[in-house]
């Protein structure tokens, strides 16, 4: 049983690592990424998730995607810097 759980954790770690890698690539080419603050300027939250690094701005919370590239990996609002579609 423990070996099976270990295998499941290992597989989940691989999925998460893949998400982080994909997010880093998307973030680098996204028009909504502000590299000076490390935040996404498109997505903001009305609450502060305790597990996430955020910056408060105008009563909303911007996700610091430089610390959380997994957010970029699954973002439906991704827009290339040049404005074109990929």
Q: How far is CA 62 from the centre of its chain?
A: 11
Model confidence over 21-34: pLDDT tens digits?
A: 999 999 999 999 99
Instruction: Dump pLDDT digits (tens) for 34-59.
Output: 999 999 999 999 999 999 999 999 99
CA 4/CA 7 separation, integer angstroms: 5
């Amino acid at each position: 049983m423990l070996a099976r759980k270990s295998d499941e954790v290992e597989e989940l770690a691989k999925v998460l690592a893949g998400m982080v890698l994909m997010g880093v690539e998307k973030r680098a080419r996204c028009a909504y990424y502000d590299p000076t603050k490390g935040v996404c300027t498109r997505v903001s939250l009305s609450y502060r998730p305790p597990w996430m690094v955020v910056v408060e701005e105008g009563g909303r919370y911007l996700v610091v995607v430089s610390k959380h590239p997994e957010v970029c990996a699954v973002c439906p609002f991704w827009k290339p810097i040049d404005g074109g579609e990929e």
